[in-house]
């Protein structure tokens, strides 16, 4: 199990940072709070001291989130996010076994600092997100010496020209591509094949039914007119038709990497995990590029 007990992972925070309701910062700290919650409820499964420190350094009213955290389903949602991050870190470290000094690229980074837990000082870390998010990130979690923050739209593919691929590159998008149209993800995948040969791309996806469920919850506030155009799949192997430069593999992401046989994980959590993997098609997909 990959854990983070580095209290400096979220940078130096010597003063309380006020978070305004409805701000970009508020949308970013919700998943951060979920990680803190997982640390408290499932510490031997998932532990990130940096997330605890970051939340404790914020001037924000967490009372509503604290109430929700008592719900089994909210608790499971936090666990689901933690498992996805653990899966991603597993994939990063697996790639680094054969590409020791590879670049690590976080697409739609938000406050994600998982790359700081991986590799060594010789691994460059690229964080890609919109300018307002990058600005909020630098205020809330600081900037590691290895990091290069790129403020841009991921679909503006010119950022690929800035990535150092001399020692290989692993890219990942956690909880990001659900908001993209399938043609946008396809264009990105094909461009990576051209610009970053030998790289690896990791992302999560759900099936048609899973996407409909997400629209009722996570995505309901977004204006998505033609949901059939958005990124989802019932069979990850379909992506092999995009280009002959990729090999596609996949695992279910709640139980595909870790069995969750842990004293802190209740039976209801494992039942929900199996349902999520099977019914919603929650999957981690890996593209290995020639």
Q: Residue by residue, what is the 3-state secondary structure of the chain?
A: CCCECCCCCCCCCCCCEECCCCCHHHHHHHHHHHHHHHHHHCCCCCCEHHHHHHHHCEECCCHHHHHHCCCHHHHHHHHHHHHHHHHHHHHHHHHHHHCCCCEEEEECCCCCCHHHHCCCCCCCEEEEECHHHHHHHHHHHCCCCCEEEEECCCCCHHHHHHCCCCCCEEEEECCCHHHCEHHHHHHHHHHHHHHCCCCEEEEEECCHHHHHHHHHCCCCCCCCCCHHHECCCCCHHHHHHCCCCEEEEEEECCCCCCCCCCCCCCHHHHHHHHHHHHHCCCEEEEEEEC
CATH, residue 39: 3.40.50.150
For 73, the token pair is 């389903």
Sort strands 58-59 and 17-18 into parallel, antiparallel or unpaired: parallel
- Domain containing 263 equals 17-289
5: pLDDT strictly greater than 60: no
Question: What's the pLDDT score for residue 73?
Answer: 86
Residue 11 counted as domain residue: no
Measured CA distances, 75 to 52, 88, 111 (Å): 16, 20, 20
Residue 200 counted as domain residue: yes
Measured CA distances, 53 to 16, 35, 82, 85, 124 (Å): 11, 11, 17, 18, 24
Calculate mean pLDDT across residues 239-263: 94
What is the value of pTM for the model shown? 0.90
47: pLDDT strictly greater than 90: no
Question: What's the pLDDT score for residue 227?
Answer: 65
The radius of gyration computed from the CA coordinates of the chain, to the nearest angstrom, equals 18
Average pLDDT along the chain: 89
Domain count across the chain: 1
Calculate mean pLDDT across residues 247-275: 93
Residue 231 counted as domain residue: yes
Residue 10 counted as domain residue: no
- Which pLDDT tens digit goes with each residue over 108-148? 999 998 899 899 999 999 999 999 999 989 988 889 999 99
Calculate mean pLDDT across residues 218-236: 75
Residue 184 counted as domain residue: yes
């Amino acid at each position: 199990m990959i854990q983070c007990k580095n209290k400096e992972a979220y940078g130096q925070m010597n003063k309380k940072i006020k978070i305004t309701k409805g701000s970009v910062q508020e949308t970013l700290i919700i998943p951060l709070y979920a990680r803190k919650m997982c640390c408290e409820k499932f510490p031997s499964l998932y532990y990130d001291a940096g997330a605890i420190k970051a939340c404790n350094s914020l001037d924000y009213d967490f009372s509503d989130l604290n109430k929700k955290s008592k719900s089994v389903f909210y608790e499971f949602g936090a666990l689901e996010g933690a498992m996805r991050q653990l899966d991603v870190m597993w994939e990063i470290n697996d790639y680094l076994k054969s590409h020791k000094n590879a670049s690590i690229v976080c697409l739609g980074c938000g406050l994600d600092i998982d790359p700081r837990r991986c590799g060594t000082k010789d691994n460059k870390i690229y964080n890609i997100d919109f300018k307002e998010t990058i600005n909020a990130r630098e205020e809330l979690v600081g900037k590691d010496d290895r990091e290069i923050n790129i403020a841009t739209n991921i679909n503006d593919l010119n950022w690929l020209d800035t990535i150092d691929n001399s020692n290989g590159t692993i890219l990942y998008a956690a909880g990001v591509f659900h908001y993209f149209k399938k043609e946008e993800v396809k264009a990105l995948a094909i461009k990576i094949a051209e610009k970053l040969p030998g790289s690896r791309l990791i992302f999560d996806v759900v099936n048609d039914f899973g996407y409909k469920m997400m629209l009722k919850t996570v995505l309901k506030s977004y204006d998505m007119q033609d949901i059939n155009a958005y990124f989802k799949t019932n069979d990850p192997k379909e992506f092999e038709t995009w280009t002959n430069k990729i090999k596609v593999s996949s695992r279910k992401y709640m139980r595909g990497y870790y069995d969750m046989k842990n004293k802190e994980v209740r039976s209801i959590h494992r039942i929900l995990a199996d349902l999520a993997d099977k019914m919603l098609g929650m999957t981690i997909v890996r593209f290995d590029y020639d």
